Amino acid sequence: MLTDLISYEKIKEFKAAHKILSEMSYNRVKITKGYANKTLKVDLSTNTIENKPVNQMMKDKFIGGKGFDLYLMWQEVNGNTKWNDPENTICIASGPLGGTTSYPGSGKSIATSISPLTQSVVDCNVGGFFGPFLKCSGWDAIALTGKASEDVIIFIDGENCKVTIETAPFEEINAHILSEQLTRMYARNEIDQRNISVVSAGRAAENTFFGVLNFSWYDFRRETSRIKQAGRGGIGTVFRDKKIKAVVAKCPYWRPKWSITLND
């Protein structure tokens, strides 16, 4: 059954059913002193995608992934915002050291939102490759606000410098299977799968207040996608309440030297 759900024939069928609700092209800039100097805002109520500049004040006073997350949240919420209000915002960032291989732990991301468990702001750090891939695609952080009317995927295509909001009617909700499906769907070939990271929340997040966010990376040794969890505060529940099926980041194409012998 699992083999059928992640077969290339089935994935092509799923992809063909997607409808692009919104699309934004952008220019990827060189990362300077740990910053791309841009943040991405996606409003699911209006299907708008915005490129927001990072100013010096943000870097001076809100340094780091948690600081950027909190700053971006404060632009959207107010003192009366509840966890399931459209304006509640999920923010994900990795800080200026995100993706710097010289520093242990720099592959992590940090996610913030108003928690359904505590009714206050919560943050949680997590592994996987999403944060570094977001940074390499040209973004210091992403803010997800509003609510979609149907299940959607946000695809950050760092290779082609494009962000899309797409309907996703048929893919799995289960995070393990969904990560496999989307890793195959958005990679150009098997080697390119290591350039894909998926953020998702499973079916349980729709029925509890402590749903987790799952961040994927492709394990080329096992030839499968694996996931880490942002498990504090129920941010996965907020994610599914917004009808987000997944956020996918594709790092600009990386090709090992030995791959020149492969037909890709």
In a domain, 227, yes or no: yes
> Residue 248 above 60 pLDDT?
yes
Distance (Å) of CA 17 to CA 2, 123, 168, 169, 209: 20, 35, 7, 7, 31
Q: Where are the beta strands (DSSP E) in the chain?
A: 20-25, 38-43, 48-53, 90-93, 109-114, 121-126, 141-145, 152-157, 162-167, 196-200, 213-219, 224-230, 244-250
Contacts of 185 (CB under 8 A, 6+ apart): 11, 14, 15
Q: What span, in angstroms and rounded, lies between the C-alpha atoms of 163 and 86?
A: 21
The CATH number linked to 160 is 3.60.9.10
In a domain, 182, yes or no: yes
Of residues 102 and 237, more confidence is placed in 237
Q: How many domains does the chain have?
A: 1
In degrees to the nearest 10, what's the CA dihedral of 98, 100, 103, 105?
40
Contacts of 60 (CB under 8 A, 6+ apart): none
Of residues 28 and 241, more confidence is placed in 241
Task: Give the mean pLDDT of 216-233.
Answer: 92
Q: Note down the domain range covering 51.
A: 2-255
Please state whether beta strands 244-250 and 152-157 pair in parallel, antiparallel, or not at all (unpaired): parallel
Q: What span, in angstroms and rounded, lies between the C-alpha atoms of 96 and 144?
A: 20
In a domain, 260, yes or no: no
> Residue 190 above 70 pLDDT?
yes
Which pLDDT does position 263 carry in this prediction?
Answer: 41
DSSP 8-state code for residue 170: S
> Residue 141 above 60 pLDDT?
yes
State the DSSP H helix or E strand holding residue 8, giving kind and residue range, or none if neither. helix 8-16
